[in-house]
Amino acid sequence: MRKPMMAGNWKMNKTWAESVVLAQGISNRCDDAWDAVDVVLCPPACNLKAVHTVLEFDRRDIHVGAQNCHWEEGGAFTGEISIPMLEDIGVDHCIVGHSERREYFSETDEMVNRKVMALVNHGITPIVCVGESLAVRDAGTYLEFIVNELRADFAGLEPEEAAKCVVAYEPIWAIGTGRTATPEQAQEVCSAIRAALSDLFGEEVASGMRVLYGGSMKPANVEGLMAQSDIDGGLIGGAALSADSFAELVEACLK
């Protein structure tokens, strides 16, 4: 059985003080039952240490994740954050290849691949995002597109390295639009992702890797999505900005 994961991507939201309040609110909702779920909070980079401190003080088994990183150890990369810097403040997960990074900041599969390999080498869990635009979806080529993206992002990894990664399926047409893939649409793609992982790394590795759904998951639709055999949790956007709604999503994994 794969352990469910709920990862909250706060994106460019919440000041330092607001991040502390949100992290504290989630911590207050946490109880022993949450041990059955890997819960990850991904605040803006400037608030990572504050969120980690809240969770550490409360002794909560909740992970802290970054929203991005650079693959180099250090150097003349103004504005970037290295993986050793993230390690130093207690980060143990990192989102890579999010559709917004690809679209707005021109990240390529090659860049994503370099980040994945560097994170694995440092023992930080990459949450690798793949997904299709509305144009690709309407063209009917979305499965081929996503599998090709997946292959490029995982190029060069050994099976034991891939096993340390998480994949998040983002139907880009369902992010921030209020639209959501039906459970059946989400399952079709997540199943194809697992099949591609099996081709790349073997059935045993693929069956153990978690595939998250990342397109407007919220309390109103979480049960239908989590009932699908190849969906192991969510990469949550808007619903992660409220302690109550995010806690509902975590608790939905316990049913």
Kind of pairing between the strands at 210-213 and 93-96: unpaired
Alpha helices of 46-124 — where are they, by DSSP H? 48-58, 83-88, 99-104, 109-121
Q: Name the catalytic one among 52, 93, 98, 107.
A: 98
Catalytic residue among 107, 149, 161, 170: 170
Residue 102 and residue 124: Cα distance in Å, rounded?
21
Q: Let me know: does 186 contact 130? Beta carbons within 8 Å.
A: no
87 belongs to the catalytic site: no
Whole-angstrom distance, CA of residue 197 vs CA of residue 97: 17
Structure-derived torsion over alpha carbons of residues 250, 251, 253, 254, reported in degrees to the nearest 10:
140
| Catalytic-residue membership of 63 | no
What would the two tokens of residue 254 be? 């316990």
Q: For residue 17, what is the enclosing H or E element?
A: helix 16-29
Other Cβ atoms within 10 Å of 31 Cβ, number:
10
Residues with catalytic roles: 98, 170
